[in-house]
Chains A and B, each alone.
Chain A
Amino acid sequence: MDSNAAVIEFEQVSYRVAGKLVLDDFSLRVMPGETLVLLGRSGSGKTTALRLVNGLISPTSGVVRVLGRPVAEWNLIELRRSIGYVIQSGGLFPHLTAGDNIALGPKLAGRTCDVDGLLDRVGLPAAEFRGRRPLQLSGGERQRVSVARALASDPPLLLLDEPFSALDPITRFELQQEFVRWRTPMGKTAVFVTHDLTEALRVGTRIGVMADGALESCVPTGDFKRFAGVEGRRFLEAFGATL
């Protein structure tokens, strides 16, 4: 495989903060069109890996490349505008309506977007939700708006940090199906962080299991049960009842 073909490439990346090694010799390549799920417990370094991709933090050692170019060499504004990022807690601006939150990214780049269409895609009727402020939304509705916001600039790359975690199981299932339905025709490459194995198996094309800041294994979703490592087996065990 040509190394330039990877959309994201982590090469022996370590990240240390306050003396603690959060990522340890982490290497991984994310290929075009795939949805790579990073599965791990809380504190395993999943979110840190995402934040390295859009330059919110810089690696202590090693290199992170996006489209073959080290993040450090990118114009960060330009890089971030080409990445849709869903923050764990939503990160919606409380002083703006749902519609304005969604439209802000494209607006900064001097473009417009179809706010109503985006709200529809995440299952929120535009007429009802466009004008609501985040505090007038439920946790699940906020996460949907965050996903719509990440899609607003039509970025080729999506980073999703537990985007559906605050949802009830049925809504979560619906949104996972929704996500799988549109990500392929839209040709998006995505890194999807979760600690839910069921979710990982539903949305991922490949699953990377993280433990203590290191990548334990990374295999196609269909092979996950066969090739699971120690941490992967723990996940299988923990989710045994629901799988």
Chain B
Amino acid sequence: MLRLSGQHLRLTLLAMVLAVAIGVPLAVWLHRQERWRGPVLMVVNILQTVPSLALFGFLIPVLGIGPVSAVFALVAYALLPVVRGTLTGLMTVDPTLLESGDALGMTDRERLRWVELPLAAPQILNGIRVATVATVGTATIAAAIGAGGLGELIFRGVATVDSRQILAGACPAAALALALDGGFAWLERSFFRR
């Protein structure tokens, strides 16, 4: 179980690192490119609505069975909350502060670094938090395509109608989600105490 929990955590974290690495810059770009905002958000939204088992199924012929397909799908699901959180954060920055940055002679990049991202940080972090907790849950299904993780125990339990085995997978997954959520709550408290 410990091995599977570790695998599960690795899947989740890897997917989240990628989702943040793609989602935050994507949101920053969308914030500046109003024209693209609607269409791109629509695509990200649609990705979110595809049932996870189906998405895993679609990916197998392309990326094969195993963790690669799983991570790909998890990233696709995590993207929406990350992009939305970041975009909301950027869009709700007080315009007076943007002007204040401009008046100090900030370049676009400096304004992003010193004003927009720090002020949007609570919403960005919140988006990542929501996505992370959801990813822990979705990652259990990744076992269906041979990516391992706690889902293995759950699927095995379902197949053998063994509630104890289902619980052996579900309980650590829930604990993991709670622990990560708690970690984010702590981060928020320590960074955004003003």
Contacts and interface: CB of A to CB of B under 8 A. Distances in A.
Contacts of A91: 96-97, 99-100, 103
Given A93-B115, A94-B194, A135-B194, A87 B100 contact: yes
B104 A104 contact: yes
A152 to B, nearest CB: 9
A214 interface: no
Given A93-B114, A108-B110, A56 B99 contact: yes
Nearest to B115: A93
Interface string B96-134: 110111111111001000110011010000000000000
B105 to A, nearest CB: 4
Nearest to B114: A104
Contacts of B99: 56, 87, 91
Interface in B72-109: 96-97, 99-107
Interface residues of B, number: 18
Main secondary structure of the interface of A (DSSP, over half): mixed
B110 A93 contact: no
Contact of B105 (A81, A87, A135): A81
A87 B118 contact: no
Interface string B39-54: 0000000000000000
**Size band of the A side of the interface?**
20 to 34
A83 B104 CA distance: 8
Contacts of B101: 93
Interface in A92-134: 92-95, 104-105, 108-109, 133
A135 B194 CA distance: 7
A133 B191 CA distance: 13
Nearest to A86: B103
Given A77-B107, A95-B118, A108-B114, 4 more contacts: A87-B103, A91-B99, A93-B101, A105-B105
Interface of B: 96-97, 99-107, 110, 114-115, 118-119, 121, 194
3 pairs of A and B residues whose beta carbons are closest in the complex? A91-B100, A81-B105, A80-B105
